[in-house]
């Protein structure tokens, strides 16, 4: 193990318990302390050779990905009102989704988004995220007034930056002709999109309106009684308020 890993440093075999992993290292300790170079001794490990190369590319390997498109399709269903709506335009034109791009004013029902537009809407530039990756949050908000025509119930999209770095590893294993096990380890950088959908809908109904109106009237009635109690019995000028409110008949 490299001497740059603190947990790999050793002076004798007892410093390298067999079977223990090297913290922040690349393998499992064999139980031996070996000379790494003229000045350092490190724990011998069982691990894949060579170790992962941490060298980063100087430019995005797939810069053209900024023009890639993402198709996002979702449907909301408000069961209380038996109302469903999809974020795609209902059309019989088979070429529509191949040629349209989302625009909040001209194409609000086109669910095809260009990657560069989404990144810029989140406040970043594609070149910055394309090198080390990143995570973009996509929020789809439905706020529908069902007293209006269904066409006015449309989604609102917003984009936010969640992380400026994103990568993951994937490996494939195989045996060679001499029955030795090999692996190919890939560390992949990319832009991740996390999509969340939120919605609410409302519609006028006479019953809840009447209940709310009656509750309001009852509240004002209770407030009047409470004010009378405070002014007539607890206030320092209770006698004055009493004489003003009530007229004594002798």
Indicate the domain borders of the chain: 1-52, 63-202, 206-245
DSSP annotation of 21: B
pLDDT of 6-40, one tens digit each?
Answer: 888 898 999 999 988 888 888 899 999 999 888 88
- Dist. CA 151–CA 141, nearest whole Å: 15
pLDDT at 108: 82
pLDDT at 213: 57
pLDDT means per 10 residues, the chain with 250 residues, are: 83 90 87 89 87 73 83 88 85 85 85 91 86 89 85 87 88 89 87 90 68 62 66 64 60
CA distances from 120 to 16, 126, 129, 164 (A): 50, 7, 11, 13
Residue corresponding to tokens 């890993």: 5
In this structure, the dihedral spanned by the alpha carbons of residues 121, 127, 132 and 138, taken in order and rounded to 10 degrees, is 20
Superfamily of domain 63-202: atp-gated p2x4 ion channel domain (2.60.490.10)
In this structure, the dihedral spanned by the alpha carbons of residues 59, 61, 64 and 68, taken in order and rounded to 10 degrees, is -120
pLDDT at 178: 87
Do 143 and 156 touch, CB atoms closer than 8 A? yes
DSSP annotation of 67: G
C-alpha torsion sign, points 115, 119, 125, 131: negative
CA distances from 134 to 126, 158, 169, 188 (A): 10, 17, 15, 12
- Dist. CA 85–CA 89, nearest whole Å: 10
pLDDT of 156-190, one tens digit each?
Answer: 899 999 988 888 889 999 998 888 888 898 888 88
pTM score over 0.85: no
Angle among Cα 127, 133, 134 to the nearest 5 degrees reads: 100
Please provide residue 172's backbone torsions phi and psi, each rounded to the nearest 5 degrees.
-125, 135
């Amino acid at each position: 193990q490299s001497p740059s890993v603190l947990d790999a440093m050793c002076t004798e075999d007892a410093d390298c318990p067999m079977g223990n992993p090297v913290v922040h290292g690349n393998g499992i300790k064999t139980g031996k302390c070996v000379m790494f170079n003229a000045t350092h001794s490190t724990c011998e490990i069982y691990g894949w050779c060579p170790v992962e190369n941490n060298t980063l590319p100087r430019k995005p390997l797939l810069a053209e990905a900024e023009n890639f498109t993402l198709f996002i399709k979702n449907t909301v269903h408000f069961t209380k009102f038996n109302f469903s709506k999809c974020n795609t335009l209902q059309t019989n034109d088979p070429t529509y989704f191949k040629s349209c791009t989302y625009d909040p004013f001209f194409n609000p029902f086109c669910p095809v988004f260009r990657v560069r537009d989404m990144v810029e809407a989140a406040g970043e530039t594609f070149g910055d995220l394309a090198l080390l990756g990143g995570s973009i949050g996509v929020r789809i908000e439905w706020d529908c007034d069902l007293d209006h025509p269904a066409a006015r119930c449309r989604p609102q999209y917003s984009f936010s930056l969640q992380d400026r770095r994103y990568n993951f590893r994937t490996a494939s294993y195989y045996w060679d002709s001499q029955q030795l096990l090999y692996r190919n380890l890939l560390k992949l950088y990319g832009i991740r999109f996390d999509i969340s959908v939120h919605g609410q809908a409302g519609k006028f109904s006479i019953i809840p309106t009447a209940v709310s109106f009656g509750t309001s009237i009852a509240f004002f009635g209770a407030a009047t009684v409470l004010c009378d109690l405070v002014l007539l019995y607890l206030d320092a000028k209770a006698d004055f308020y009493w004489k003003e409110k009530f007229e004594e008949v002798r």
